[in-house]
Amino acid sequence: MLRYILKRLLMVVPVMGVVTVVVFVLSRVGPGDPVTIMLGEFATAEQIARTRTALGLDLPLPAQYFAWLAQTLQGNLGLSLFTRKPVLELIAQSAAPTVLLTLCAMVYAVLVAVPLGVLAAARAGSLVDRAVMAGAVLGFSTPVFVLGYILAYVFGLRLGLLPVQGFPGLEAGPVAVLRALTLPALAIGATFVALIARVTRASMLEVLNEDYIRTARAKGLRRPVVLLVHALKNAAVPVVTMIGIGFGILLSGVVVTESVFAIPGIGRLTVDAIFRRDFPVIQGVVLVMSAVYVLLNLLVDLSYMLFDPRIRY
């Protein structure tokens, strides 16, 4: 297994190499100039040229790329063009809200979706099954911002129970953090409840038709034991894959949720950087998120061994 892990990790190197080139080229070839944005509405061409020189943006693109690559290989992702803060510091600062939001959303999604999926499969064709599947379609089809506004209106404005926006910072303590993340987690988690419930149901239905399930039933095992111990474990591989992909999607795709709920996470950092053409931040975030995505995929692959003893690396 160690050999497999090392092999997979080695494969990360060329992937990241390609990522550096792609993200550098994409961020530079598009229209937009950070200096024009930085200097504001009425800057003259002369002022723009001076600032471009001061920030090293007048160098040829290959020179800029290799300079960035050299410092990246030393673990330094450079400085934001605007804040002049280290990109790594900005990413670290934004990572906490995003990671916590992702975890909350996924825990909520799994806790709700897996039982619902099992239930729907166990009662396939019944009213319960149809209700669960209809709920899944609704959850998947409702845009996160619509659900976000509804939740904020009901729980924030009408009932006054939860904040409608913001992230208080880890220093505010777990209760304040959970309060801030509850509504966004419910909003973004809805899609994953729908997805995981559907995948769980489909996978369970497949497993429930297997001979070993019939054997387990014939042995007189109680229905819950058959469902949760025998069937669910064997149906778990696609569900775990879905959860793993979901983590990746959530970590890198919470832009809308973070915007609606004003959470200063990776999504907002990325969008702000793109709007401002803050090249070092765009490059740094994409690089780090790509690495996280690759590592998450590796972890998901390794986790298959826990659920299916036939899988060995």
Among residue numbers 43 through 82, which ones bind another protein (CB under 8 A)?
43-48, 50-51, 53-55, 80, 82
Tokens for 214? 């019939």
Q: Confirm if 18 and 26 have CB atoms less than 8 A apart.
A: no
| Candidate ranges 66-74, 174-182, 240-248, 301-309; the one touching another protein (CB under 8 A) | 174-182
- Alpha-carbon dihedral sign for residues 9, 15, 21, 26: negative
Sole binder of another protein in the list 1, 10, 41, 220 (CB under 8 A) = 41
Q: Which is nearer to another protein, 242 or 266 (CB)?
A: 266
Tokens of 168: 């208080």
Integer Cα distance of 213 and 209 in angstroms: 7
CB of 11 vs another protein, minimal distance in Å: 33
Q: Which of 60, 75, 160, 309 binds another protein (CB under 8 A)?
A: 160
Closest contact distance (angstroms) between CB of 75 and another protein is 21
Q: 132: exposed, middle or buried (C-beta count within 10 Å: 0-12, 13-18, 19+)?
A: buried
The yes or no reply on residue 99 touching another protein (CB under 8 A) is: no
Under the binding rule (CB under 8 A), the answer on residue 152 touching another protein is yes
| Longest distance between any two alpha carbons in the chain, whole Å | 85
Distance CA 62, CA 51 (A): 20
Q: How far apart are CA 40 and CA 47, in angstroms?
A: 11
Which residue, 93 or 297, has its beta carbon nearer to another protein? 93
Closest CA to 251 of 99, 104, 50: 99
Question: Total residues at the site for another protein (CB under 8 A)?
Answer: 82
Question: Using CB under 8 A, which of 17, 56, 143, 224 touches another protein?
Answer: 224
Q: Give Cβ neighbours of residue 55 (< 8 Å, ≥ 6 apart).
A: 34, 35, 81
135 binds another protein (CB under 8 A): no
Rg (Cα) of the chain, in Å, rounded? 24
The answer to the question of residue 171 lying near another protein (CB under 8 A) is no
Residue 121 found at the interface with another protein (CB under 8 A): no
In the list 12, 16, 28, 37, the residue contacting another protein (rule: CB under 8 A) is: 37
When binding is defined by CB under 8 A, the residue of 94, 102, 203, 283 that contacts another protein is 94
Q: Minimum CB separation from another protein for residue 312, in Å?
A: 33
Q: Which of 156, 241, 253, 292 contacts another protein by CB under 8 A?
A: 156
The least distance separating another protein from the CB of residue 196, rounded to whole angstroms, comes to: 12
CA distance linking residue 103 with residue 192, whole number of Å: 12
Residue 119 within binding range of another protein, rule CB under 8 A: yes
